[in-house]
Structures are given as structure tokens and as C-alpha cells.
Amino acid sequence: LERTFSIVKPDATKRNLTGKICAMLEDGGLRIIAQKRIQLTLAQAQEFYSVHAERPFYDELCEFMVSEPIVVQVLEGENAILRNREIMGATNPADAEEGTIRKTHALSLGENSIHGSDAPETAAEEIAYFFAGLELVG
């Protein structure tokens, strides 16, 4: 089984949608094997999204990610990385398929309710950044 890292983003925690989003992940075949609600610092948000540091939306993205608590998760399942991205839907909710988390819940391209790792290397890095090994209970 593969593992991936996920974040319920501020627009979703603010609207009390954490449970609905978790249910969509579980219904999609993924198991939540670690989860916690945290408040990112600006420095942590900047570090997490450093790959986007040169993008015009970087400052807005980092400010958004610290605007409310987030829920960080480790998901496990068959092809969990790809499966999670299918359940999430396209980055821009306007392009997302019916039934996906972003189509159902996202507000905009920026406020798009959920993050999911995009590759095995980033999944491993992101999991290790937020969780100690003992916190993952598969």
C-alpha cells in the first residue's frame, strides 16, 4: 500500500467541512492513518510551498495557509497518491470533475479546500515534515 500526505486547507476548516472531506477520502478507498489539526506559522507555510516561491501567487498562498487552522493527514491505500488526486479533482474547481472534493467544496483556484502530494518523493518529504514515524498507525 502507498502513502500520501494531505491537508484540509483553511477555507474548508473555516466552513467546518473537515468531516465531509474526510468522508470523501474514505469513500474513495483511502484510510486516514494519521491526522492532526494545527496552525501553521508563516515561516512553515513559506517552507512548505518553497517550490512555488517564484510564482506570483506565492505570498497570497502562504497568507491563506496561515489564515485558519489546517488539518494535516497521512492517507494510505492502493496507488494512494494518484487516487487522492483523483478524489481531490483539478486544482481549479472550475475545471474539476463532478463529485470531486474541489468541485463540491472549493471556493476558487487559491481557496481550493485540499492539498495532496504529487509524487512519491514529495509525499515522503511532506509526511516526514509533519509527522513522526510513531504517529503513523497503518
Pairing of strands 114-116, 2-8: antiparallel
If contact means CB under 5 to 8 A according to the sort of partner, which of Mg ion, ligand GTP, none does residue 107 touch?
none
Instruction: Establish if 82 lies at the interface with ligand GTP (CB under 6 A).
Output: no
Which residues fall in the annotated binding site for ATP? 9, 57, 85, 91, 102, 112
Is 52 an active-site residue? Answer: no
Instruction: Establish if 83 lies at the interface with ligand GTP (CB under 6 A).
Output: no
Out of 77, 115, 126, 127, which residue is the one contacting ligand GTP (CB under 6 A)?
115
Cα angle value 6/75/124 (rounded, 5°): 70
String of contacts with ligand GTP for each residue 12-51, x by CB under 6 A: ----------------------------------------
What residues contact 52, with CB distance under 8 A and at least 6 apart? 58, 61
Instruction: Establish if 57 lies at the interface with ligand GTP (CB under 6 A).
Output: yes
Name the closest residue to ligand GTP (Cβ): 110
Spatial contact of 40 and 70, defined as CB atoms under 8 Å apart: yes
If contact means CB under 5 to 8 A according to the sort of partner, which of Mg ion, ligand GTP, none does residue 129 touch?
none
Looking at the DSSP assignment, which residues form a beta bridge with residue 8? 71, 114
Instruction: Establish if 110 lies at the interface with ligand GTP (CB under 6 A).
Output: yes
Residues known to be catalytic: 115
Binding site for ligand GTP (CB under 6 A): 57, 60-61, 91, 109-110, 112, 115-116, 118
